[in-house]
Structures are given as structure tokens and as C-alpha cells.
Amino acid sequence: MSNRTFTHLDALESESIHIMREVAAECKNPALLFSGGKDSIVMLRLAEKAFRPAKFPFPLVHIDTEHNFPEVIACRDKLAADLGERLIVRSLEGSIKRGSIVIKDPDKPRNPYQSVTLLETIAEFGFDACMGGARRDEEKARAKERIFSFRDEFGQWDPKNQRPELWDIYNTRVHAGENIRVFPISNWTEMDIWEYIAREKLYIPEIYYAHKREVIRRGNSVIPVSHLVHPKPGEKVEVLSVRFRTVGDMTCTAPVESYARNAQEIIEETSTTRITERGATRMDDQTSEASMELRKKEGYF
């Protein structure tokens, strides 16, 4: 077209819509993973663009660690209700009760266990495709993942054995018991997400914007005080103006100091930020350079 008006956001949006429609058309029983975080809120808008005026041809699914920020859960429920779409929530507590997850310390990060509950939920509903809001720019292991990422019966990803992906022709075929993860926003960056939130005026949890919060400093990170994180003896509680760049497990998601009160101000801040989103906020990925890859192989998103 006359590319004078077709911007990179238009190009990314159109690609994502195309991917979601392929999933709806070719997969028997797909689901859209929806956490109430910013990437999955963008996914929700893309699904509206892909399928309105009809309802989504798939339910929304959230795997709840019960370590989530209450503002995020509230946003999740509000958005699903506003859209009138079906939301399925499955909690780690369910897996803990069944004994499929054994947790040593209930206050420690729970991300590693999410894959267990996700796989159980996939089996419960017989999903053959789960769409997720992961992006290739988030982490090195993701940079090589396909948009349609095939999982075996154990939910495992084999980076050495991925299907080649050519043009915009996606191979969605799986055998019974296998499934695929689909990443419609693979090619979006953190900046694209913020620009889209600003352009579409998307409602996201307030904790993405600057607010005053009680925090403690541990090592290089600033950690929010909550019912799961208490100051240890000798640690000082400070009140800082902060915002979250990702909103995962409360025990390991660190905010950054910020005064950005809306998406536009975040865009300005992000364009001068010199730390990756995961580097800034996820303490569990820093442990080893390859930790994300290991978790993905185990079936984590």
C-alpha cells in the first residue's frame, strides 16, 4: 500500500491479527493465555481487532500463582467482564492440593511451578493451542523460537527440532495429545507495546504507572513490601516513586524508580532506559544466563 500511512505498528498489528485468525481457523480447541499484564492486554485488543463483531472463538485462560499483585487480578477480571468473554482461572493451589506441585517455601517465587498447572489445565480442557504474549526481544532463548512453537506430549520445547517457518504460512498440525504455543506478538518489542498502549488508549493496571510504594533494597534490586515480602532485620523500608515494567510474581518482581504517569511518559522513559525489561525486573532469570531456556524446555511458556 502507500506506506506513507502504514506504520510499523500497523504492520505488527496486521501480522498478529493474521496469526490469531490462523489459530482460530486451524486449531480445534485453542485458548488465549491472559494474565492482566500489559502484553496480554495488548493481545486482548488484537483479538478484538481480529474477531469483532463476533465473540472470540476461544476462552481466556489464566494460570494464577496466587503471588500476583491484586491490582493486576482486578484488571484481569474487569477486562474479561467488560469484553463479555469467558475467563478460566486455574491456580497453583489446585496443583499443590493434588500433590503435583510440592512447594518448600510458600513465600519463594512460584514462576518455576507455573508450567505444571499450565500443563494440567491444557489436559483438563484438551487445548491444542495456547496463545501467549511472549516476545522475542524479551530474552535470548525466545529470539529463536517460532511463532507457532510445537510442544510434545510432555509440554516440552526442543530448540534443536523446530519447524521451519516460511512466509506467512504456518504449520498448525499436531497429533492428539500434543499442542502448540502460539506467540502472535513475537515480533513486538517493549517499545512497540507501549506505543500501542498509548495509541489504543488501553486500560492497564495502575501499578505500571509511577506511584509511591514501600520498598526495601536487596542487592541491586528494589523489592516491594507486601504480605509476602517483609523487611528482614536490619533492612530499611523506604517510600519511593516507582513503576513496574512487568507484573509477575510479587516476590521477585522489582519496580524501577520512575515518575512516568502515563504511557506517553513511559515511552519517553523507555527510549532512554538502558536496561532490558527482564534484566530490570525478574530476579529469577538472572541466576544463570541460560535459565529461561531451561524453564522453557520444561514446558514453561
Partner 1 sequence: MSNTTQLLRFITAGSVDDGKSTLIGRLLHDSKSIFEDQLSAISKTSEKRGMAAVDLSLLTDGLQAEREQGITIDVAYRYFATPKRKFIIGDTPGHEQYTRNMVTAASTANLVVILIDARKGVLTQTRRHTFLASLVGVPHIVLAVNKMDMVGYSEDTFNAIVAEYRAFAAQLGIHDVTCIPMSALNGDMVVEHGDNLNWYKGAPLLDFLENVVIDYDVNTADFRYPVQWVCRPQTQEYHDFRGYMGRIESGEIAVGDEITVLPSGRTSKVKEIVTYDSNLQRAYAPQSVTLTLEDEIDISRGDMFVKADGMTRCANAAGAGMPSDCPLPQSACSAITSDLASVVGSPSRMASSSISNVSGAGTAMPTVAKEFEAMLCWLAEAPLDLNRKYIIKHTTRMVKCLFSRLDYRVDVNTLAHHETDKLNMNDIARVAMKVQQPLALDHYSKNRFTGSFIVIDEASNNTVAAGMIA
Binding residues for partner 1 (CB under 8 A): 1-15, 17-18, 21-22, 24-25, 48-55, 136-137, 140-141, 143-144, 159-160, 162-169, 171, 173-175, 186-187, 189, 191-192, 195, 199, 271, 273-276, 279-280, 289-290, 293-294
Please, where are the H alpha helices in 84-168? 92-98, 111-125
Cell numbers representing residue 61 in the block: 485462560
- Closer of 64 and 285 to partner 1 (Cβ): 285
- Closer of 161 and 236 to partner 1 (Cβ): 161
Cα Dmax for the chain? 63
The residue written with cell numbers 499436531 in the block is 174
* Lateral strand order in the sheet of 211-218: 221-224, 211-218, 238-243, 256-257
Strand partners, 89: 62
Say if residues 211 and 243 touch (Cβ distance below 8 Å): yes
Shortest Cβ distance from residue 8 to partner 1 (Å)?
4
Shortest Cβ distance from residue 207 to partner 1 (Å)?
22
- Closer of 13 and 249 to partner 1 (Cβ): 13
Shortest Cβ distance from residue 176 to partner 1 (Å)?
11
Shortest Cβ distance from residue 103 to partner 1 (Å)?
27
- Closer of 6 and 106 to partner 1 (Cβ): 6
- Closer of 156 and 171 to partner 1 (Cβ): 171
Please, where are the H alpha helices in the chain? 8-26, 38-51, 70-83, 92-98, 111-125, 190-200, 263-270, 277-281, 291-297
Which residues touch 49 (CB under 8 Å, ≥6 apart)? Answer: 13, 17
Whole-angstrom distance, CA of residue 91 vs CA of residue 240: 32
Instruction: Give the N- to C-terminal CA distance of the chain in Å, as an integer.
Output: 36
Shortest Cβ distance from residue 209 to partner 1 (Å)?
20
Shortest Cβ distance from residue 11 to partner 1 (Å)?
4
Shortest Cβ distance from residue 48 to partner 1 (Å)?
6
SS3 62: strand
Neighbours of 195 (CB within 10 A): 21
* Nearest alpha-carbon partner for 222 in 266, 270, 256: 256
- Closer of 51 and 94 to partner 1 (Cβ): 51
- Closer of 101 and 223 to partner 1 (Cβ): 223
